[in-house]
Amino acid sequence: MNNKNHPSQAAEGHPIPSMKKPSQPTWPLYLIVAMTFAIGAVSYQYLTLPQSLTAGLLFICIAFWATSLVPAYWPALGLFAFATATQLAPTQVIFSGFQSSTFWLLFSGMVFGAAINHTGVNSRATRLLMLILGNSYQGTIIKIALFAMGLAFLIPSGVSRVVLLIPIIVSLADHFGYDSHSNGRKGMLLAAAFGTFLPAFSILPANAPNMLLSGMTEALYDAPLSYGEYLLLHFPILGFGKLIMTIGVILWLFPDKAPNQAVQATIEKSAMTKIETRLLIVLCTCFAFWFTDSLHHISAGWIGLIAALVCLWPSLGLMAKNSIDKDIQYGTLLFAAGIIGLSAIIAYSGLGNILVNYLTDVIPFSANAPLLNLSLLTFISTCVAVVTNLAGVPAIMTPMAEHLANITGLSNHAVLMTQVLAFSNVLLPYQAPPLITAIALGSLSISAVTKVCLATFVLTSVVLLPLNFLWWYALGMF
């Protein structure tokens, strides 16, 4: 008799082998901690104690978030504890993430996703998209990315677009037969997230850094940016060109078979229920207020929070009774609040300005080399984006534009526009709240998003930026 799977095996003295996963090596943790102390110690030779502590805090948080050695919420909680204990900044600065519109947009996105799943709206939207996307995996990725980019012309907030798209794409991936670990599911979610985010930097009202640059330019230099001129300068290369490049990167990194047609056939046409109608009214009203934010000036986060409160109202039946406990990913919310708080602490410490002042002193600008100067300015802004986040670029660089124009011999407008080349080129996910939102709502791994970020960053730096400079030269920018 074969006793291979006999239940008495363990009792007869033959223990069943353990199926434990191999543990991660601990040396990367020790290396990160050692490098943090080293960075803090070296920084203290040139900076104040709070600034050197902030530099060390910046490094360890980014290292943990980039490597995923610990859960994403752990560095965020550690940041709050360390910054508060050492009084690196006032508490309202340290915990500013919880007051941020982005934080509450992420929260509302989680509520919307739960409501969409609970009411069945996801299946209805999935059925409509399936009729458009067809049966090819490559065609599915291309059409999702194009549809996602199209939303950038309609909805002005990157996080808002991700909140709308990701729950639908999750349902679509389920019905296409792609499981949670498949390349097909990752590819579809990445196409939606990057498709609605990266090209949108070339559309003036479509992302937060764009609008911050526009507002600060008008306030500081009385030179409001033109929607059409901005689109002409950036969309052909940084918009549509980057979309094509991103699609290629996703298909290269995450290839998969065509969707399972047998699974697709499980969605049947049915009449819309009252609960679905209620949710669609709430969501459409929310999107209408998002779309018209230039008229009423109410932040997208507070609009989303009000809509989330309506969804959570018990008698409407839009959410399950325990959704607030089951469907809200509090670890991801802490992660988002930590990133925003870290950026605020860096701004408060003055590290960003110190970096820019140092770089402008040591970088060899030449009044007779406009192409070199444009490249160097883009490099400086990219360094600022890595140290702070994408929105930190216009906040730090715009007040210095006139000074940089005098040093380089470029026009003030050209200097300002180099910021777009930098904040549209994302190195790591922590820099961009829309990507953090996509990771949360789509249960995407940080490593998958990081791979696309790194690939697009390198290709943009090597291919798209030179093409963009040629495009600017043809338009007479320099």
237 Cβ contact list (under 8 Å, min separation 6): 464, 467, 468, 471
Strand ranges (DSSP E) for 212-292? none
3-state secondary structure the chain: CCCCCCCCCCCCCCCCCCCCCCCCCCHHHHHHHHHHHHHHHHHHCCCCHHHHHHHHHHHHHHHHHHHCCCCCHHHHHHHHHHHHHHCCCCHHHHCHHHHCHHHHHHHHHHHHHHHHHHHCHHHHHHHHHHHHHCCCHHHHHHHHHHHHHHHCCCCCCHHHHHHHHHHHHHHHHHHCCCCCCCHHHHHHHHHHHHHHHCHHHHCCCCCHHHHHHHHHHHHHHCCCCCHHHHHHHHHHHHHHHHHHHHHHHHHHHCCCCCCCHHHHCCCCCCCCCHHHHHHHHHHHHHHHHHHCHHHHCCCHHHHHHHHHHHHHCHHHCCCCCCHHHHCCCHHHHHHHHHHHHHHHHHHHHCHHHHHHHHHHHHCCCCCCCHHHHHHHHHHHHHHHHHHCCCCHHHHHHHHHHHHHHHHHCCCHHHHHHHHHHHHCCCCCHHHCHHHHHHHHHHCCCHHHHHHHHHHHHHHHHHHHHHHHHHHHHHCCCC
Q: In the prediction, which pLDDT does 126 show? A: 66
Residue 9's pLDDT is 42
Residue 229 has a CB neighbour count (10 Å cut-off) of 13
Rounded average pLDDT per 10-residue block, the chain, 478 residues: 42 41 68 89 88 88 78 89 92 86 77 80 70 79 90 76 85 83 92 93 83 78 82 93 96 87 53 83 84 73 87 87 81 80 81 77 83 92 83 80 85 92 90 85 88 95 94 90
| 8 A C-beta contact, residue 135 and residue 261 | yes
Per-residue pLDDT at 3: 44
